């Protein structure tokens, strides 16, 4: 007989974005958006590729992992000590990831540049001088493999490729693995796409729609555990996922979908909007606004660090939990994170912030 599901706690985060590498930095002075190198009239929040932290990864890896992967490894490495401190067997540690695209098209621009330099040689020669396991040849799972090896994660594994909603997919898969006793802890990693010309082709709908689209580069990782921390506890209390087809926009189907997502997220603990201590969402989104009614909404980290795609949710969790408002608690506080990607995925997550137990 299967064991009953158990609670899952968020233990520690690691971030990297234009504001810095800590959750507290997201509450500091906002960085200024910069003109993008390949399109000076467009603004965004690019990052220099980070150096790999010493100790966890072979520095030589930096030559074969592109910038997005390096950001991911940078965050994962900084959770290594906390993971080690749990003292778990590698087989009990899950690894899940939300990675937009490690491979083409992003690093494909290198190939374009190479072909421009040597148009007669085409790809064969270019590849002849490209080491095996170069970023262009890698899959999402390749970057996950680097993390798995360095942090000894041999439990359940799942990789998601998508936009903002992939972050919740990865978090939910990790939560299920721990809640269903298939793992005792989980590392969840997520990254934004690289800022390349390809991004503006893929996000053309936003450009055409006149939206001030300011993408950012970043990564975020969280360590989850079945073991409650001694101090303030952050428990995953519910989540919901849905998809609003473009054809259903402003129609009743879109509202039905959103209502269902909210019910899924709030239902497990029988919560209503009035029970929430804070809601983090997109204040300008009319559809989300319909679901939230008059509930005050916090805007999340996006205005400060740009649209981070698959790493936006995990970044927002860290941003909210670092808020001074929640540093001391007298009773359980519930936070709702509600997001809709421009392509229609809706994601809702409820966290329960519980006061630490006194001795």
Partner 1 sequence: MQREVLVTGYELVAPDALDAATLFRHIAEGQSGLRAHPRFEALGFANTAAGFLDAAQWAHIHAATAQLPGITPPQARLAEFVAQGALARAGLVPDDFRDLRAGLFLGANKFCADSRDFAALCPCVDSVELFDLDRLLDEVAPVSHPYARRVDQQTQHLAERLGVADQISTHADACAAGTVAIGSAFRAIARGEIDIALCGAVELMANELPYYMFNSLGALCQAELPAEQQSRPFLRDRAGFVLGEGAALLVLESRQHAERRGAAALGRVLGFSALSEAEKMTSSSRDGGKYLACMRATLDDARCSPADIHHINTHGTSTQANDSCEAKAVLTLFEGQLERLTLTANKSAIGHSLAASGAIEAVLSLMSLSEGLLLPTLNYRAEAAEFPALRFLSAAERAPIHTVLSNSFGFGGVNSSLVLGRA
Under 8 Å CB-to-CB from 119, ≥6 apart: which residues? none
Residues in 266-325 at the binding interface with partner 1, rule: CB under 8 A = none
CB of 66 or CB of 354, closer to partner 1: 66
What is the Cα 114 distance to its own chain's centre? Answer: 32
CB of 85 or CB of 112, closer to partner 1: 112
Shortest gap between Cβ of 333 and partner 1 (angstroms)?
26
- Interacting residue with partner 1 among 43, 49, 62, 248 (CB under 8 A): 248
Site string for partner 1, 332-351 (x = CB under 8 A): -----------xxx------
* Cα first-last separation, the chain: 35
- Interacting residue with partner 1 among 29, 119, 274, 293 (CB under 8 A): 119
How many other CB atoms are there within 10 angstroms of residue 112's CB atom?
11
Residues in 31-90 at the binding interface with partner 1, rule: CB under 8 A = 37-39, 90
CB of 77 or CB of 94, closer to partner 1: 94
Shortest gap between Cβ of 267 and partner 1 (angstroms)?
12
d(CA 82, CA 239): 25
- Interacting residue with partner 1 among 35, 85, 201, 250 (CB under 8 A): 201
Closest by CA position to 158, among listed 129, 183, 136: 183
Shortest gap between Cβ of 274 and partner 1 (angstroms)?
26
CB of 155 or CB of 216, closer to partner 1: 155
Site string for partner 1, 134-173 (x = CB under 8 A): x-xx-xxxx-xxx-xx--xxxxxxxxxxxx-xx--x---x
What is the Cα 127 distance to its own chain's centre? Answer: 32
CB of 115 or CB of 273, closer to partner 1: 115
Shortest gap between Cβ of 49 and partner 1 (angstroms)?
18
Judging by beta carbons within 10 Å of its beta carbon (0-12, 13-18, 19+), is residue 337 exposed, middle or buried? buried
Shortest gap between Cβ of 213 and partner 1 (angstroms)?
13
3-state secondary structure of 16: strand
Q: Which residue has the tokens 């900084």?
A: 78
CB of 174 or CB of 297, closer to partner 1: 174
Shortest gap between Cβ of 171 and partner 1 (angstroms)?
12
d(CA 80, CA 150): 9
CB of 59 or CB of 357, closer to partner 1: 59
- Interacting residue with partner 1 among 66, 103, 217, 316 (CB under 8 A): 103
| Residue 326 exposure: Cα atoms within 13 Å on the Cβ side | 25
- Interacting residue with partner 1 among 204, 249, 284, 356 (CB under 8 A): 204
Site string for partner 1, 174-193 (x = CB under 8 A): --x-----x-----------
Closest by CA position to 123, among listed 142, 140, 110: 110
Closest by CA position to 301, among listed 164, 105, 141: 164
d(CA 37, CA 43): 10
d(CA 184, CA 175): 10
- Per DSSP (E only), the strands in 196-303 are 219-225, 233-243, 276-280
């Amino acid at each position: 007989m299967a064991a009953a599901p158990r609670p899952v706690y968020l233990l520690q985060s690691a971030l990297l974005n234009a504001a810095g590498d800590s959750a507290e930095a997201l509450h500091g002075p906002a960085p200024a958006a910069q003109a993008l190198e390949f399109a000076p009239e467009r603004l965004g929040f690019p990052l220099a590729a980070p150096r790999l932290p010493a100790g966890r990864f072979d520095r030589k890896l930096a030559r074969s992992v592109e910038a997005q992967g390096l950001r991911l490894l940078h965050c994962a490495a900084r959770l290594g000590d906390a993971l080690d401190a749990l003292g778990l067997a590698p087989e009990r540690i899950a690894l899940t990831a939300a990675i937009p695209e490690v491979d083409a098209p992003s690093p494909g621009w290198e190939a374009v540049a190479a072909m421009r330099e040597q148009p007669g040689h085409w790809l064969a020669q270019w590849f002849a001088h490209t080491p095996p396991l170069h970023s262009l040849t890698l899959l999402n799972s390749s970057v996950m493999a680097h993390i798995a090896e360095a942090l000894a994660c041999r439990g359940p594994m799942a990789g998601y490729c998508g936009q903002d909603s992939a972050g919740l997919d990865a978090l939910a898969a990790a939560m299920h693995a721990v809640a269903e006793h298939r793992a005792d802890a989980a590392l969840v990693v997520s990254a934004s796409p690289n800022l390349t010309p390809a991004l503006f082709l893929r996000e053309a709908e936003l450009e055409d729609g006149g939206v001030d689209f300011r993408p950012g580069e970043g990564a975020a990782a969280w360590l989850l555990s079945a073991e409650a921390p001694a101090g303030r506890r952050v428990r995953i209390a519910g989540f919901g996922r849905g998809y609003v087809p473009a054809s259903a926009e402003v129609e009743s189907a879109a509202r039905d979908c959103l209502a269902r997502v909210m019910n899924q997220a709030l239902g497990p603990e029988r919560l209503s909007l009035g029970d929430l201590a804070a809601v983090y969402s997109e204040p300008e989104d009319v559809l989300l606004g319909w679901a939230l009614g008059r509930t005050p909404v916090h805007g999340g980290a996006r205005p400060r660090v740009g649209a981070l795609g698959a790493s936006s949710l995990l970044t927002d969790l860290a941003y909210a939990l670092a808020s001074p408002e929640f540093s001391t608690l007298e009773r359980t506080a519930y936070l709702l994170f509600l997001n809709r990607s421009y392509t229609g995925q809706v994601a809702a997550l409820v966290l329960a912030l519980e006061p630490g137990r006194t001795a």
